[in-house]
Amino acid sequence: MEFIYNKKLNLKISRIGFGGIPIQNSSVENAKDVIDELIRSNVNYIDSARGYKESEKIIGEAIKGRRSSFILATKSMARTYEAMKKDIEVSLGNFQTDYIDIYQLHNPNMEALELCLSDEGAYRALKEAKNEGKIGHIGITNHSLEVLNKAIDTGLFETVMYPFNIVEDQGKEMFDRCKSLGILTIAMKPVAGGAIDNKRLAIKYLLNEDIDVIIPGMKDKNEVIENVNIKKEALYDSELAEVKRIKEDLSGDFCRRCGYCAPCSVGIDIPNCFVFEGYFKKYDLKDWAIERYASLKHHASECIECGMCESRCPYNLKIIEKLKEVRKTFGK
């Protein structure tokens, strides 16, 4: 396993980390097997979230007695001081630990970021928890470069997580900026939310990029073994040709979650409709995807086909047709 050392955080981290979304449906027994394999393979980074249902709890149970083998990272959608204070305690309880290495603001939009950073916002609770030794470092995750660049400008964040994969490399410059500032860079969605079938190639591609940690989701120990056996070596000509093919194949059909299509005339959160559809169709996470989709204020069925979003999408996605698919998938 290749490691990176981040001087500012004083952490030595395996470049392949464990993404904790799929474990939310796991038995504790399976999760313990996964943790055994992570330790055997020298994977020391675990990523979870308050929003991944039972993920924190299952991980907490599985790492009991082995907490010190891991750098634990999680995240919360809490935006206010009180809500974040509560969530930090819940995460500590779930992980059965008194210390979480990295705690992140989970995907705030610009307005939510402002609220988080205000006097009554979530950041104050994170800072307080850091001063009390309950968390080690404060990070942020996002799908928007605009939000992340704003967050980086504040100088308040020590880790940044953003989607990065063969078809989504628009974050290169932002990640380079993080690197120059000593901010830990974490790539989420290494297989583009399931759109890239060749997981091996997707991870090998990322290992060759200048990004600190890659966090593919892993549901069992076989997936851990598959992932950790992927070595950082130069891509063969045939692999480079496949990278090119994947980019071309997905170019007109894959939503990069850039948000340029917003605002929708009726308030539909277009990228998240596609994200939740991906979780439903590509992963064994149907119930969770239905729940997350249901929590959206507006649904694909409300589209009035005004076309405003399509005129703004830089990737020329046929959003109206794609939303019809989302409606078929979720029934609304």
Q: Does residue 255 interact with ligand SF4 by CB under 6 A?
A: yes
Identify the residue among 1, 110, 181, 304 touching ligand SF4 (CB under 6 A): 304
Q: Does residue 195 interact with ligand SF4 by CB under 6 A?
A: no
Identify the residue among 62, 201, 261, 289 touching ligand SF4 (CB under 6 A): 261
Identify the residue among 306, 318, 321, 328 touching ligand SF4 (CB under 6 A): 306
Q: Does residue 110 interact with ligand SF4 by CB under 6 A?
A: no
Q: Are 142 and 153 in contact, with CB atoms under 8 Å apart?
A: no
Q: Encoding tokens for residue 152?
A: 């980086």
Size of the site for ligand SF4 (CB under 6 A): 26
| Distance separating alpha carbons of residues 101 and 45, to the nearest angstrom | 10
Identify the residue among 21, 191, 270, 275 touching ligand SF4 (CB under 6 A): 270
Identify the residue among 229, 265, 295, 301 touching ligand SF4 (CB under 6 A): 265
Q: Does residue 258 interact with ligand SF4 by CB under 6 A?
A: yes
Identify the residue among 49, 138, 303, 326 touching ligand SF4 (CB under 6 A): 303
Q: In the block, which residue shows the tokens 């989420």?
A: 188
- Least distance between ligand SF4 and beta carbon 310 (Å): 6
Q: Does residue 161 interact with ligand SF4 by CB under 6 A?
A: no
Q: Does residue 129 interact with ligand SF4 by CB under 6 A?
A: no
Residue 70 to residues 200, 258, 261, Cα–Cα distance (Å): 24, 32, 39
Closer to ligand SF4 by Cβ: residue 67 or 327: 327
Residue 8 CB partners (closer than 8 Å, separation 6+): 158, 182, 183, 184
- What angle do the packed helices 122-131 and 81-95 form, to 10 degrees? 50
Q: Are 39 and 66 in contact, with CB atoms under 8 Å apart?
A: yes
Q: Does residue 283 interact with ligand SF4 by CB under 6 A?
A: no
Q: Are 159 and 139 in contact, with CB atoms under 8 Å apart?
A: yes
| Distance separating alpha carbons of residues 12 and 187, to the nearest angstrom | 17
Q: Are 187 and 163 in contact, with CB atoms under 8 Å apart?
A: yes
Q: Is 25 helix (H, G, I), strand (E, B) or coil?
A: helix
Closer to ligand SF4 by Cβ: residue 157 or 274: 274
Closer to ligand SF4 by Cβ: residue 6 or 107: 107
Query: Of residues 25-84, which lie at the interface with ligand SF4 (CB under 6 A)?
Result: none
Q: Are 66 and 35 in contact, with CB atoms under 8 Å apart?
A: yes
Buried b (16+ CB within 10 A) or exposed e, 186-222: bbbbbbbbebbebbebbbbbbbeeebbbbbbbbbebe
- Least distance between ligand SF4 and beta carbon 246 (Å): 16
Closer to ligand SF4 by Cβ: residue 62 or 317: 317
Q: Does residue 259 interact with ligand SF4 by CB under 6 A?
A: yes
Q: Does residue 321 interact with ligand SF4 by CB under 6 A?
A: no
| Distance separating alpha carbons of residues 157 and 296, to the nearest angstrom | 28
- Least distance between ligand SF4 and beta carbon 249 (Å): 15
Identify the residue among 63, 160, 317, 326 touching ligand SF4 (CB under 6 A): 317
The residues of the shown chain that bind ligand SF4, judged by CB under 6 A, are: 255-261, 264-266, 268, 270-271, 303-309, 313, 315, 317, 319-320, 323
